[in-house]
Amino acid sequence: MDGTQAIILTIITASTPLLLAAIGELVVERSGVLNLGVEGMMVMGAVCGFATAYTTGSPTLGIFAGIMAGIGMAFIFAFMTQTLVSNQVATGLALTLLGLGLSGLIGESFVGLPGVKLVPVSIPLLSDIPFIGRILFGQDILVYASIALVIATTYVLFKTRVGLIIRAVGDNHHSAHSLGYNVIMVRYACILFGGACAGLSGAYLSLAYTPQWIENMTAGRGWIALALVVFATWLPKRLAIGAYLFGTVWIMGLYVQAQGLGIPSQFLSSLPYLVTIIALVIISGNKTLTRVNTPACIGQSFVPDR
């Protein structure tokens, strides 16, 4: 029972950064913008969160620093793509390269230092319930925040006027502009929200998942978050399921490797990425499902005076 509980707890911590980064990217893509810089924003959130928490001794300030780092990187992307109308794909890739290089420079002096771990929340009585108590009521605050973000995003996108505007901008930016909506500002806001989520995801990695700084510690999670949005067909509820599914694959690969079953470790380490490819192939085969939910203007630049 204790072993099963430990595996479930590890799966939750492995899934949370994927969910945080992916929910932000989902909102970005719903507004018609494709930001491939999630990996770069995550790794900057990780290094800035760790550095701030280490120097101040406060994981709360570390979380705030991670969010601000993600927003800063996202602002660069927004300015380049929305104001200067650069190519979104090329700019996103450049943002990832910038984040990886800059994080290595910033974090050089922090490699190998002990981190400040984010303390889990313990709800009296409830967290003492056998087996499920620690799983449901003994997580850190960011696990609960990720679930709350999924619920809030679902409500805002599909039950409010703000969500209707975001989806309208993503589906037909010219029509939204003709109705008087500021397409550029809507996309700016969505991009910055996505950056905040990616930075928060990175801070979670260096403050909760593995409280230390290692260069390139995101290890491709930003790319998996991008794939999760497509896997979920741009729906937040499916995104949550997908994040926990991928987190399970990630941890079970490590668990099987630890059991010494003779399976090559390289194959087990590649399992999350193989599952990502397989999932994308399966989803792409359902043309109706992807056509219904895919934002029609995704990746397309908008210039009001053209």
CA–CA distance, 6 with 254 (Å, rounded to integer): 13
Question: How many domains does the chain fold into?
Answer: 1
CA–CA distance, 83 with 94 (Å, rounded to integer): 17
CA–CA distance, 134 with 126 (Å, rounded to integer): 8
289 pLDDT higher than 70: no
- What's the pLDDT score for residue 255? 78
**Residue 208 located in a structural domain:** yes
Query: What's the angle, vertex CA 159, arms to CA 158 and CA 162, rounded to 5?
Result: 85
278 pLDDT higher than 60: yes
Between 179 and 274, name the one with better pLDDT. 179
pLDDT in tens, 214-225: 999 998 899 999
Please report which confidence band the pLDDT of residue 135 belongs to, taking 50, 70 and 90 as the band edges. Answer: confident
Please report which confidence band the pLDDT of residue 267 belongs to, taking 50, 70 and 90 as the band edges. Answer: confident
Between 202 and 305, name the one with better pLDDT. 202
**Residue 303 located in a structural domain:** no
Q: Which parts of 128-208 fold into alpha helices (H)?
A: 132-137, 141-159, 161-171, 173-178, 183-204
pLDDT in tens, 149-176: 999 999 999 999 999 999 999 999 999 9
288 pLDDT higher than 80: no
Query: Residues near 164 by Cβ (< 8 Å), separated by ≥ 6?
Result: none
Query: Residues near 162 by Cβ (< 8 Å), separated by ≥ 6?
Result: 156
**Residue 99 located in a structural domain:** yes
CA–CA distance, 243 with 248 (Å, rounded to integer): 9
**Residue 306 located in a structural domain:** no
| pLDDT cut 90: percent of the chain above it | 67
Q: Average the pLDDT over 266-282 and give the result.
A: 77
Q: Average the pLDDT over 40-51 and give the result.
A: 96
Measured in residues, the chain has a length of: 306
**Residue 300 located in a structural domain:** no
CB atoms within 10 A of CB 99: 29
Average pLDDT, the chain: 90
Helix (H) or strand (E) holding 12: helix 2-30
Specify the CATH number for the domain of residue 223: 1.10.3470
Please report which confidence band the pLDDT of residue 3 belongs to, taking 50, 70 and 90 as the band edges. Answer: confident
Q: Average the pLDDT over 284-297 and give the result.
A: 77
**Residue 169 located in a structural domain:** yes
**Residue 267 located in a structural domain:** yes
Q: How far is CA 163 from CA 28, 169, 190, 254, 303, in A?
A: 12, 10, 11, 39, 22
Q: Which domain holds residue 231?
A: 2-293
- What's the pLDDT score for residue 306? 53
- What's the pLDDT score for residue 110? 93
In contact, 198 and 222? CB cutoff 8 Å:
yes
5 pLDDT higher than 90: no
Please report which confidence band the pLDDT of residue 293 belongs to, taking 50, 70 and 90 as the band edges. Answer: confident
CA–CA distance, 200 with 173 (Å, rounded to integer): 29
Write the DSSP string, 58-122: -HHHHHHHHHHHHHHHHHHHHIIIIIS---HHHHHHHHHHHHHHHHHHHTGGGTTPPP-PPPPP-
**Residue 301 located in a structural domain:** no
Tokens (6 digits) for 111: 């490699």
pLDDT in tens, 51-95: 999 999 999 999 999 999 999 999 999 999 999 999 999 999 999
Query: What's the angle, vertex CA 187, arms to CA 77 and CA 33, rounded to 5?
Result: 65
Q: Average the pLDDT over 132-142 and give the result.
A: 88
CA–CA distance, 96 with 73 (Å, rounded to integer): 9
- What's the pLDDT score for residue 258? 74
Please report which confidence band the pLDDT of residue 17 belongs to, taking 50, 70 and 90 as the band edges. Answer: very high
First vs last C-alpha separation in the chain: 63
284 pLDDT higher than 80: no
For the full predicted model, state whether its pTM sits above 0.85: yes
